[in-house]
A and B are shown apart, each in its own frame.
Chain A
Amino acid sequence: MSDLEPQRQRVYTPDSVVTEAPWARAAIIAFAAAFLALFLLLPLGLIFHEALSKGFDAYWQALTDPDAVSAIRLTLLVAAIAVPLNLVFGVAASWAIAKFDFPGKSFLITLVDLPFSVSPVVAGLVYVLLFGAQGLLGPWLQEHNIQIVFALPGIVLATVFVTFPFVARELIPLMQEQGTADEEAALTLGASGLRAFLTVTLPNIRWALLYGVLLCNARAMGEFGAVSVVSGHIRGLTNTMPLHVEILYNEYNFVAAFAVASLLAILALVTLIGKTILEWRYGEAISGRH
């Protein structure tokens, strides 16, 4: 057979050299789907199944228990403080990193990522060592009657630390991509720095910012490790939802534990849906491609 003759016996012609054979594609997709079902969907379904296993009344009772209500309140309060703080910190850090050149810039980028690489438990311990009764600033704080560890301020601090990167990580690449020309244009047209920020910078990053805030909020409400260390687990006082779930579970109160856990699962689902809508609708504005 000459080289120039078409190879008639070939059954399968790929559209592209990087495309797999159909059976291989099907197998890979099936494997991925099975994995997702086993490790993600099944547990999620199980949460709701367990939570409702003794009927809706038991479910509702578990959620309206005073300790549960207090945990839900505390979680919402912590998120309501930590998320706006990180919104401001995140925008400020991204602004500085993306729009200016200064010595120590790459160090600052590393610092922004630090909470991702440090175990949350370590972060919590650091705050205990700093602000706890035996801690570095403990005596001074006690003198002035300021309670940080085992109280709301400590929980907020730990949450802020753990959720810091979410907003900044979303904004830095986008702002770097957008550069400073838009702001410069606004300045040459007579706008003040603040005016340029509000009318040009902020609208340019709004969807990425919302995306970052969404992720930041989900983590702020769901954070366990760091908060566990600094909270002290005082029922009805310093227990957030994840901590409350753990306590209930350890007391073999499965229905109540899964009931509170189902709220966290709903939060996760809402976050996922919001994230998907943002990606679908404003994917280009978030990643900076135009």
Chain B
Amino acid sequence: MDIRVTDLAKEFGGARALRGVSLHIRSGELMALLGPSGSGKTTLLRIIAGLERAERGSVFFGETDATRLSVQQRHVGFVFQHYALFRHMTVADNIAYGLRVRRRSERPSRAAISARVEELLALMQLEGYGGRHPAQLSGGQKQRVALARALAVDPRVLLLDEPFGALDAKVRKDLRAWLRQIHAQTGHTTVFVTHDQDEALELADRVAILNHGRIEQVGAPDEIHAQPASAFVASFVGDAARVPVRVRGGKVVFGEEVLEAPGAAMADGDGWLWLRPYDLRLAGEGDADAAGGPAGQLGGVIVGVRRTANGRRVEVRLHGLDVIVEADAPAGLSCGEGGQVTLAVLGGRVFPENS
């Protein structure tokens, strides 16, 4: 079932949480709502679920106008950040809750309910945990029970609010892969909210980036990363340094240098050049491969070398400006802090100054 929201607006005590958000979530898609805190992503999710009412705009589930439907009538599966498991019930009773509260005419038989619970426990790799109470489970297990409980009612769509937000890094990673697998198996249209870009880019089919109650960009993870639609997206997704530049006739002018940045699709004027570490290739003065990149080159001095989980990062202060950019250090980098280097510019995006 696809979800369409059009022109949603919502205020909380004068603070505008959403300012006209429209979004189409395709049937069977796994979509991430990504944004900093206060961007309105959770509000959007809660409006889709029917937990909040929008002041303006509408929500469609397929052809059904769900805007005025109550949360019970919407038949969504909702997973909360802090699980919201019913602490006085066993795991099995938690999962069965949505089936047991149905009207007698729609309620499955006792045997059918316990069969469904067993099936979900198996899907969640929680066999044998049905008799436990939530307090006896780890965070990851709790979140899987919460997901099983949401799936038990066979919801039209599955909505997850920061599903891994309260878990530690290792568990997050495992659950991520596992959610992907569950989504592939069950095929529910799934929307999840996250402030973690890795999570969004790794897990989702498409990502919607929110900022200040507006959608900045919707696209596949590769597209978001490689072709950010705005300065906000460029800065929010991935590491990026910004360099003040001027644009003249489609070329980017930085001090004495003229760069042919691929993303200079803006009118002449002042702007910012956003450079990701992989947009730059670093070579020490005199190194053999100190050749210029396709877009030009920049000179600078190394001010720091950092060890990261995946390699070494070099911080370079560009000549003539108080701007520090980051680049991945090549394996045989000969100079350390204070060394003069040349940065070959391989890519980058330019956005107007006031964007």
A contact set with B: CB distance below 8 Å: 181-182, 184-192, 195, 199-200, 203-204, 290
Interface string of B65-101 (1 = CB under 8 A from A): 0000001101111101010111110000000011001
8 nearest CB pairs, A to B: A189-B98, A181-B84, A185-B84, A188-B78, A191-B101, A203-B88, A187-B71, A181-B80
Does B72 contact A191, Cβ atoms closer than 8 Å? yes
Chain A contacts of B71 at CB under 8 A?
Answer: 184, 187-188
Chain B contacts of A181 at CB under 8 A?
Answer: 80, 82, 84
With A184-B80, A185-B80, A195-B101 as contacts: A190 and B88 at CB distance below 8 Å: no
Does A185 contact B101, Cβ atoms closer than 8 Å? no
Determine which of B82, B101, B135 lies in contact with A189 in the assembled complex, contact meaning CB atoms within 8 Å.
Answer: B101
Determine which of B87, B135, B153 lies in contact with A190 in the assembled complex, contact meaning CB atoms within 8 Å.
Answer: B153
With A181-B82, A184-B84, A290-B87 as contacts: A190 and B101 at CB distance below 8 Å: yes
Does B135 contact A290, Cβ atoms closer than 8 Å? yes
Chain A contacts of B146 at CB under 8 A?
Answer: 185
Chain A contacts of B317 at CB under 8 A?
Answer: none
- Tell me whether B265 is interfacial, beta carbon within 8 Å: no
CB distance from A288 to the nearest CB of B (A): 11
Q: List 26 A-B contacts (CB under 8 A).
A: A181-B80, A184-B71, A184-B80, A184-B84, A185-B78, A185-B80, A185-B84, A185-B149, A186-B101, A187-B72, A188-B72, A188-B77, A188-B150, A189-B149, A189-B153, A190-B72, A190-B75, A190-B98, A191-B98, A191-B101, A192-B72, A192-B101, A199-B97, A203-B88, A204-B87, A290-B87
Bound Cα distance A188, B76 (Å): 6
CB distance from B349 to the nearest CB of A (A): 40
Interface string of B313-330 (1 = CB under 8 A from A): 000000000000000000
Tally chain B residues at the interface, Cβ within 8 Å.
Answer: 26
Chain A contacts of B85 at CB under 8 A?
Answer: 185
CB distance from B214 to the nearest CB of A (A): 25
Bound Cα distance A152, B34 (Å): 63
Determine which of A182, A188, A195 lies in contact with B86 in the assembled complex, contact meaning CB atoms within 8 Å.
Answer: A182
- Tell me whether B21 is interfacial, beta carbon within 8 Å: no
By beta carbon, the residue of chain B nearest A188 is B78
Interface string of B170-200 (1 = CB under 8 A from A): 0000000000000000000000000000000
CB distance from A74 to the nearest CB of B (A): 38
CB distance from A132 to the nearest CB of B (A): 45
CB distance from B82 to the nearest CB of A (A): 6
Determine which of B74, B77, B84, B101 lies in contact with A182 in the assembled complex, contact meaning CB atoms within 8 Å.
Answer: B84
Does B101 contact A200, Cβ atoms closer than 8 Å? no
By beta carbon, the residue of chain A nearest B73 is A190
Bound Cα distance A182, B80 (Å): 9
CB distance from B50 to the nearest CB of A (A): 8
Bound Cα distance A53, B85 (Å): 58
| Given A182-B84, A188-B72, A190-B75, 7 further pairs, Cβ under 8 A | A181-B82, A188-B49, A188-B51, A188-B74, A189-B150, A195-B101, A203-B86
